[in-house]
Structure 1
Amino acid sequence: MDFEKVKSIVSDIKEKQPEIDRVMFVGCGASMADLYPGYYFVSHESTKLLSSIHTANEFNYDTPKGVGEHTIVITASLGGTTPESVAATKKARELGTHLITLSMADDSPIIKETEYKVIHGFHENYAAKTEKMSYCLAFAIEIVKQFEGYQFYDEAVAAFQGMPDLIENAVKSVGPSAKEFGEKYKDEKKIFVLSSGASLGVAYSTASFLFMEMQWIAAPTVHSGEYFHGPFELTEKDAPYLLFMNDGSTRHLDARALTFLQRFDAQVTNIDAKDYGLNEVAGENVIDYFNPLIHTGVMRVYAEELAKARKHPLTKRRYMWKLTY
């Protein structure tokens, strides 16, 4: 990841507009989920900036009031062709916002509509699959730092530097557990997915895209803190659950849910950030925001093994790329 580019873009925005009051994150599907940690950071660490996250077409058709020259908008699309996200990027530019767009495709339609483009990797390795998310989080941290100050900035930068190797080492170690996951869940028609904190976006992405889109498995997403306020009534012996356990402030929420699931003998797979040494690269003041990166990297291996066990490639679709809708 190019930290200097992140700094330069935010500095350029600040030079043009010294007073920013809002940071908005806009995308669709997995790209919107990748924006979630950035949104979560601003909403938790800033004392001055409003922060919100929007699916692109809601931004297009029900645009929040007050969006304009005092707003930074970050949009994203992996291939850069998602029509709703392209339209949202164009709309944000027309509204006079300071517009940053993340994509892996340099000549894509969404990049042509933006003010500041950032091209990220994806195919090179598992760490590269988290680059879009990493850039979004880096922009969120840089924005807060430059516009109001962030005392743990150096700690965050150190975490970014350590994450690629941590992810690559983690995925090398998860082969046996990922294969076990694939065999255990290959015949399931529904899997509940739980998490909390900044990794709620990973839970949503896993459920909606790796499971529902790519494997045609129904997958309700449940916030670990909300699990006890309704959803836990569906907990029973051998019911299939996937939990992304965080290391940091919201770990108690995840642990409480795990204890209850185990109490009633649910079938639980727990992907725990602590197991992969997240705290070795991310200090206690910033660790909350880096859980999604390790969860995303590890989960990709689990998804690949599930696809193999089901003989259902991750690229297989019924409707996407085949119909006009």
Structure 2
Amino acid sequence: MALRNFNLEKYLKDGANTYAQRANIEAMADHVSEKGFDNLVILGIGGTWAEWYPVVKVMEHYTKLPVHLENAAEILVKADKDFLTESSCVVTASASGDTKEILQAVKMVKGMGIPVYGFTKNAETPLAKLLTEAVYNPCGDCEDSYLMYFMFALRLLCNRGEYEDYPRWADQMKNVHKNLVRIREEFEPRAKELAQKYAKEPYTMFVGSGVLWGETYLFSMCILEEMQWVRTKSVTSADFFHGPLELVEKDVPLFLVKGEDEYRELDERVERFAKTVTDKLEVFDTKAFDLEGIDDDFRVICSPMIITAILTERLAVHYELVTGHSLQFRRYYRQFDY
């Protein structure tokens, strides 16, 4: 099936290039492990913070290592930074390499005598020049970011003896991009239908949880709000019942991102309620999509990649067509200093 505004050859080439970074990512993780560290501190903001979120949620299943996912803007003004020590492993990412808050946070951490590791598009970015060690990859698709971040984090855990399945998982990730192409194709008709139905709604609720909360938040904020100027509300499945449920009415769209981890029962609770109230409930269940050549025990790790493929990469493209508003145009973001 033809996919609107999708370059298959480039996508598969970028995916292969991302996977080819495996040796570099593992080497960076190994250097950190050899040096030794007492905690992991991740610096992100906006979409980058959201992409690291599922990595942290997965790590929680396997390690007792303290892991801190910090907003780069907040850490600059945060009074209590005692968790940042010379024994911390600090990692960050910026695809552009010039995200202002990330650069300021890295400078602060380096000024404390703490090395910082990270990911950016090439060795010439401002971020690259600050990092102690970096992996370079210009690929911009979110699933490429997920793949790299999970490789780094799970390799760290493997080195600690906490995730012995890492080699099997990493080997099978050679298959993930072909799966995500097929998943795009399967979802394309629905993406077109959903955009035509909802792109001009005055307000849409997005609900998700667990490993998929980051991607739920990312799509509603970084894509629909920033890139499409569509008014949204994103809330976790747990918090949905403590305020937002009162705004659900018969004609209010509610998009539920339904995962496969232990938080799924919270998603199902929202689903049961929403079915009784709104006529515009849309459920995006990662269980509906097969992952060929990938073992079932890795599905939770891959689930954010599935959601980014169908929502961030496909639904957004069809919203753009209906709204007539380019995904590339911003009024304020990066347009001037603020």
Answer whether TM exceeds 0.5 for this pair: yes
1:66 corresponding residue in structure 2: 83
C-alpha change, 1:31 and 1:250, in structure 2 (3 Å) is same
- Aligned counterpart for 1:129 among listed residues 126, 135, 142: 142
Deviation at 1:255, TM superposition (A): 2.0
Gaps of 5+ in 2: 1-18
1:113 corresponding residue in structure 2: 130
Letter in 2 for 1:202: E
2:23 corresponding residue in structure 1: 4
* 8 Å contact from structure 1 (residues 235, 266) kept in 2: no
Q: Distance in 2 between matches of 1:159 and 1:177?
A: 28
Runs of 4+ in 1 over 6 A off after TM superposition: none
Q: Distance in 1 between matches of 2:118 and 2:111?
A: 15
Q: Distance in 1 between matches of 2:121 and 2:257?
A: 26
- Aligned counterpart for 2:306 among listed residues 294, 297, 308: 294
Q: Distance in 2 between matches of 1:266 and 1:156?
A: 40
Deviation at 1:93, TM superposition (A): 2.4
Give the root-mean-square deviation of aligned CA atoms.
1.9
Secondary structure of 2:127 counterpart: helix
C-alpha change, 1:34 and 1:220, in structure 2 (3 Å) is same
Matches within 5 A, 1:1-325: 1=19, 2-17=21-36, 20-47=37-64, 49-62=65-78, 64-122=81-139, 128-278=141-291, 281-284=294-297, 286-299=298-311, 300-325=313-338
C-alpha change, 1:256 and 1:280, in structure 2 (3 Å) is farther
Q: Distance in 1 between matches of 2:278 and 2:41?
A: 41
* 8 Å contact from structure 2 (residues 28, 133) kept in 1: yes
* 8 Å contact from structure 2 (residues 142, 305) kept in 1: no
Letter in 2 for 1:73: V
* 8 Å contact from structure 1 (residues 130, 293) kept in 2: yes
C-alpha change, 1:282 and 1:242, in structure 2 (3 Å) is farther
Q: Distance in 2 between matches of 1:297 and 1:52?
A: 27
**Matched residue count:** 317
Letter in 1 for 2:118: T
Deviation at 1:260, TM superposition (A): 1.5
Instruction: Give the alignment's TM-score, normalised by structure 2.
Output: 0.88
* 8 Å contact from structure 2 (residues 206, 254) kept in 1: yes
Letter in 1 for 2:33: K
Letter in 1 for 2:152: F
Q: Distance in 1 between matches of 2:46 and 2:114?
A: 23
C-alpha change, 1:239 and 1:254, in structure 2 (3 Å) is same
Letter in 2 for 1:306: Y
Instruction: Give the alignment's TM-score, normalised by structure 1.
Output: 0.91
